[in-house]
Amino acid sequence: MSYCTKCGASLNDGDVFCRNCGNMVKNIAGANQNAVPATPVQPAVSNTIPNVSYNQGSNALTEEEQNIINRIASNLRRERIAYIICSAVGMSIMIFYFIFLRGVFNMFFSNYYTPFGVFGYLMGLYTIVLGILILPVFIVGFAAAGRIGFYTSRIRTNVAPARKRCGSVGMIIFSALFNNIAMIFVIINFIYVKRNAKKLDEIEYKQMQSHIPY
């Protein structure tokens, strides 16, 4: 038996062309009897790892889950607005009182040796005490508004911090002490977070998985 000198396939006597590769072979009996079969060329094996793209579609939030996040973020924004408005109005009233009314009292009750002067002196002390007690409340309100903005800006990538804040009884007590209007939205978010605890667990898991590097 003879073999093709190009691909190494076996040839029958009388073949003019190789049936495997189509190479022309000599039609002489015995010419290729002792030919060594050619070694088939092996395809090159690449050592590089193929770039496999991982499908993260399962980690995408559903429309219902997105609505839950939007609802919490909306109440947080309302709470923040309540803190800003109340603190700004209160601060403006305090400034007006210190500058205008305090000046009027000093104008009419500057003589401390009369009953009116004693009244003016007491009003001055009241103004100082009022500033010491009330002014920090407005400062805390601005600080709370800034903190709420921090949670709101990150809620779509990590809902856990905002969820922890909204589900805290301490935040209800805090808002009751510093801003009763903001407390309304704090309570609404508190109830909403507790009712959707399972959905929020799923949202937290999906957000965590979407940030794990592959």
Q: How high is the pLDDT of residue 53?
A: 37
Cβ atoms of 169 and 136 within 8 Å: the answer is no
pLDDT at 117 over 80: no
Rounded mean pLDDT, 163-187: 93
Q: How high is the pLDDT of residue 33?
A: 45
pLDDT at 120 over 70: no
Residue 209 to residues 52, 60, 82, 204, Cα–Cα distance (Å): 18, 10, 35, 9
Confidence of residue 70 (pLDDT cuts 50, 70, 90): very high
Residue among 142, 147, 166, 162 at smallest CA distance from 83: 142
Q: Where are the domains of the chain?
A: 1-37, 78-210
Average pLDDT across the chain, whole number: 78
Rounded mean pLDDT, 191-210: 92
Residue among 19, 14, 7 at smallest CA distance from 29: 14
- Higher pLDDT pick, 129 / 109: 129
Q: Other CB atoms closer than 10 Å to residue 120's CB: what's the count?
A: 20
pLDDT at 78 over 80: yes
- Higher pLDDT pick, 138 / 6: 138
Residue 7 to residues 18, 29, 32, 180, Cα–Cα distance (Å): 9, 19, 14, 90
Q: Above pLDDT 90, what percent of the chain?
A: 42
Q: How high is the pLDDT of residue 108?
A: 58
Q: Alpha-carbon torsion 162, 163, 169, 170, what sign?
A: negative
Q: For 21, which DSSP code?
A: T
Q: How far is CA 36 from the centre of its chain?
A: 69
